[in-house]
Chains A and B, each alone.
Chain A
Amino acid sequence: MELDGLEKTGVTVRQAGPDDVVGGVRPGVVALPESVEEISAVLRACAGAGLAVVPVGGGTKLHWGHPPERCDVLLDLCCLNEVVEHAAGDLVVKTQAGVTMDALADALAEQGQELALDVPFAEGATVGGTLAAATAGPRAFRYGTARDLLIGITVVLPDGTVARSGGRVVKNVAGYDLGKLFTGSYGTLGVIAEATFRLHPLPADRRYVVTELVRQQVQEVAAMLAASQAEPSAVELDWPGGDAPITLVVLVEGSAAGQRAEALRGAMGAGTVTDEAPAWWGLIADDELLIELRFPPARTSEVLAAVRDTGLSLRGSPVAGRVWLQPTAEPPADFAGLVSGLRERLTPVGGRVTVLAAPYEGVDRWGPVSALPLMRRVKERFDPERRMSPGRFIGGI
């Protein structure tokens, strides 16, 4: 029956298979729109039939968040895979949501430019999914996160309405910024169809300074690097946890990167300068279970102390105040207790503990948020019938 209503839209639809499962919930059908208009047609049809929709790009983060309460239609954006316009002279690109971040990077590199947004997956992640989950990587320290680089967006609301905000110029304060609202909204407000980003020239050169530290040294070194006028683009930690040493890597980009990296190595008192990123740089290895900590950078010591005996490994930035935690071996026995324990220790120092992915029920994935009532009101306005990724996001939104 679902298939019938959707087929009338003329959009390609197929029955869902076991590979289409969203957090354990198997959708009825998969719709494969090829244009913004087709997304709109599918959503109109779904609105008419009261069907719940979960949008998907590369599917790399489909198991993040809560499982949806229901999922009738998986809206696969893989066919919206065109870079619409790369205006190199304006340092701007407009792209469809289904373009993969690596394909976009390749296209931009041809003109010596890049979107300075690191993706934590080696391949497959799309523009739309990267925005919807608001993942951030090492260079967020220098360039900001997805919302800081996004300058225009096209979204399709649950009733099929196509709306745009922002535009294709970087400097623009006309109207509300829907791009900010949809970035990190986990598919719960509508479908991200197109995005326009500001770009940066590819750096002339890159150097990495690699060193090993004991836990107690990290904060001081990180603070020195963050305040350095050599302007590193990123500082990352990689730590198996426990009593193992911590690897700290600094990225320096731009002209004279070699000299600046040497200067930083000198200031750190140890380390090796290389032009190769470590294999783990900015990547999530295994995200069956993944926790994100955010914290004021000067609280790095408390964060490391809190993580030390959890059996979790840590990767991320002590200068941006954002790290990921993953189990090193067996998943923890009392996961809910582990999460609440981390919250108890880190909330007093201004930290946030978010469970991005976990195959468990009964875990408070997001923790308390002052603005949750306002968030609910936003959801009610955009998706009054709760048909977009219902239950996936904070507070069961």
Chain B
Amino acid sequence: MVDKPLDELTAALRALLPADSVITDPVRLRTYECDGLTYHRATPGVVVLPETAEQIAGVVRACNDFGVPFVARGSGTGLSGGALPRQDGVLIVTSKMRRVLEIDLPNRRAVVEPGVTNLAITEAVRDQGYYYAPDPSSQQVCSIGGNVAENSGGAHCLKYGFTVNHIEACEIVTPDGDLVTLDRMDPGYDLLGAFIGSEGTLGIATKITVRLSRTPEAVTTVLAAFESIEQGGQAVSAIVGVGIVPAAIEMMDALAIEAAEAAVACSYPEGAGAVLIVELDGPEREVVRQFARLQQICSGAFELRTADDPAERAAIWKGRKSAFAAVGRISPAYIVQDGVVPRTSLPKVLAAIDRLSEEYGIRVANVFHAGDGNLHPLVLFDDAESGAGERAETVSGAILDLCIEHGGSITGEHGVGVDKAKYMPRMFSADDLDTMQLVRCAFDPKGLSNPGKVFPTPRLCGEVPGVRKGVHPLVASGQAEQF
């Protein structure tokens, strides 16, 4: 099939970029056909690997000229298909933009290009006693540009917040191809806040100013093993109840522990129905007092381990950090779900997940950020067994329904992307979604920037804002809605 606009655009892109930065070879194109969510695939029409913000702006302007959609991609670790390419579009990959441009410790910030990995920022300043706080578990490879697009979280966002709380400014290429700086210090609408977490639908970040945090004086990590999930849950409530805000509170159930044990031999206490990992950090005197309280609270645990140095701490975190991949050891296939419930609803929701699991004959391993109610159920199935995949899908979707029913969210950190767009109307009304899309229309009236993500129904923006006269033909024919 000949795609004329795309062919003409490709010729224009070759004029803009070095030869090796424009990829059209079908074999190489296929390496970009999915992100971390591998069951959504599409071969991009063309891939570009720009090296500067100006090149990205040029590519985006060319896309505008030819009416071709574009998708930005960092390291491709996303778990919602946010970087799923378009066959009829351009995939803009930022992997060549990996420079740390400036480290400014007196102002506690660093300026980086979007392809820099999350961990590389911390590594650049760790020796001076600073770090970049958001820590998604893919932090060794995921890019800061992707983190900005997804508003990434991590285990420690319970205390320290998400990407949006740690970004001072972004230079972006708007969907029209303009270079604009969004800065927290600027007066006016908080477009930076609106941009972060918009999943690539409002433009592409080309330069990012992150806030650096001071390394805490003391860190104490505790692993508490309980006989049951209920006991673990009670401990979490008690911790919050006495006014402690730990850096992280993580929980794993017996099945998740079994998987982690099989994969990385993390040596968690044998026979545990649940393990709780609690990390306290801050001024030493404060941590010492909080640790004393924590020991009282966890008196029901049958084993308590404490880590005060990085090696011991890594040993405790090992099982938790490997949990997703580890379930591959106990199941041929699995779905990683990401949902949120109010923390106090956790016991009810976990019991309901148990019931779903029994009803459909599908095992579910539970790993979660217990402090903020962010569940990551791993729905296990055998893809060789006929119908198992569908049943797992059903269970996975029903878990999201549970989250919504309890006043939670369909995604705490993985994003909506292409994967969960269909669930958005369960969480938000049509008016809510229409209103969000007003922002989309302001930034991207042509709908070229990562179309098909986040929102289930594409909507026309209308050419001229103002009082509408008459009805658009697509609206009249029922093919689109306008607002």
Contacts and interface: CB of A to CB of B under 8 A. Distances in A.
Q: Which of B189, B217, B432 has the most CB of A within 10 A?
A: B189
Interface string B440-473: 1111000000000010000001000111000000
Given A89-B241, A112-B243, A255-B290, A184 B189 contact: yes
A90 B373 contact: yes
B340 A169 contact: yes
B371 to A, nearest CB: 9
B337 interface: no
A394 B188 contact: yes
Given A90-B344, A91-B240, A165-B432, A173 B188 contact: no
A359 interface: no
B289 interface: yes
Contacts of B35: none
Nearest to A166: B409
Given A185-B189, A375-B188, A174 B165 contact: no
Contact of B150 (A173, A176, A229): A173
A173 B193 CA distance: 12
A321 interface: yes
B264 interface: no
B107 A296 contact: yes
B342 A168 contact: yes
Interface stretch (A28-36, A156-164, A309-317, A329-337): A156-164
Given A171-B153, A171-B412, A223-B106, A352 B342 contact: no
Given A371-B182, A374-B180, A366 B187 contact: yes
Contacts of A227: 129, 214
Contact of A260 (B283, B341, B454, B465): B283
Contacts of A297: 106-108
Contacts of A230: 217, 283
A144 interface: yes
Given A167-B408, A377-B442, A174 B435 contact: no
Given A90-B344, A180-B193, A157 B435 contact: yes
Contact of A231 (B182, B241, B282, B461): B282
Interface residues of B, number: 90
Contacts of A240: none
Nearest to A253: B286
A381 B343 CA distance: 37
Contacts of B310: none
Nearest to A203: B243
A354 B341 CA distance: 40
B382 interface: no
Contacts of B106: 223, 297-298
A290 B428 CA distance: 40
B26 interface: no
Interface string A167-205: 111111111111011011100010000000000111010
A369 B285 CA distance: 44
Given A180-B193, A371-B181, 18 more contacts: A91-B240, A148-B165, A161-B434, A164-B428, A169-B341, A175-B433, A176-B194, A180-B192, A223-B106, A231-B282, A231-B286, A255-B286, A371-B189, A374-B180, A377-B443, A380-B465, A382-B438, A394-B187
20 contacts: A90-B373, A112-B243, A147-B190, A148-B164, A155-B435, A168-B408, A171-B157, A171-B374, A175-B416, A180-B193, A180-B194, A181-B190, A202-B243, A297-B106, A350-B185, A366-B187, A371-B186, A377-B442, A378-B438, A394-B189
Interface of A: 87, 89-92, 112, 134, 144, 147-148, 155, 157, 161-165, 167-178, 180-181, 183-185, 189, 200-202, 204, 223, 226-231, 254-256, 259-260, 294-298, 321, 350, 352, 354, 366-367, 369-375, 377-382, 384-385, 393-395
Interface of B: 104, 106-109, 129, 150-151, 153, 157, 161-162, 164-165, 174, 180-183, 185-194, 197-198, 214-217, 237, 240-241, 243-245, 282-286, 288-290, 340-344, 369, 372-374, 407-416, 420, 424, 427-429, 431-436, 438-443, 454, 461, 465-467
